Amino acid sequence: GKGLDGQIVPLKDAEKVMELCSPVALMSCICRKEWRAIDERNELEYTCMGIGVGMFKWERWPERYKGGVKFVNAEEAKERLRKFDKMGFVHGVMLFGHPFIGGMCQCDYPACLMLRPAVDFGIILLKSHYVAVVDYDLCNGCGICAQRCKFGALKFESTIQKPYIDQFKCYGCGLCESGCPRKAINLVERKSIPAVAEVWK
């Protein structure tokens, strides 16, 4: 829709995108450069991925890309996604004119130009097709999940000493799920919960 630049996706969906899109190239992140003065100068530092035929013309792009790009295959791209997921980065597909997907961002707050407006104002990004749910029988209240939520959706509930997820705020990024050592958090289809089935922003 108008004014929406991307959509959050959990790791499993991000990996599917890597299998379906070609070519994929690692590249520097303009968000970190603009907002945090972090200049990613080589393939070991690149956090963004460009996707599609536009990558064949990267040398014609603005000056920010003159450092180059690193083309990778689907398996290499997925390994990169897993690495950033462990580090607590949110995955987001960038939309360049709906429904064209032009990139896969590895976002963190507050450095991301898409994530920050979504968290602070509820604009720019669509939520994923999932929401997170806690299995309280498996949860031991370790609190790791609360450290990984970028959207303020997951709070540690002092009365039960376990996390509570506000599904209206949940973007379904899956960081709480992938970070839980007891597998006590799962993503469920957004449409399966009537109250949030149409809550996309």
For residue range 105-116, list pLDDT tens digits in order.
999 888 888 888
pTM (2 decimals)?
0.89
According to DSSP, the residues that pair with 71 across neighbouring strands are 25
Per-residue pLDDT band for 42 (boundaries 50, 70, 90) equals: confident
Q: Which range, of 7-11, 13-17, 89-93, 115-119, averages the lowest pLDDT?
A: 115-119
Nearest one of 166, 17, 47 to 176, comparing CA atoms:
166
Length of the chain: 201
Contacts 24+ apart (CB under 8 A), 32-39: 32/111, 33/64, 34/113, 35/110, 35/111, 35/113, 35/116, 36/111, 38/111
SS3 106: strand
C-alpha 9: how far from its chain's center? 6
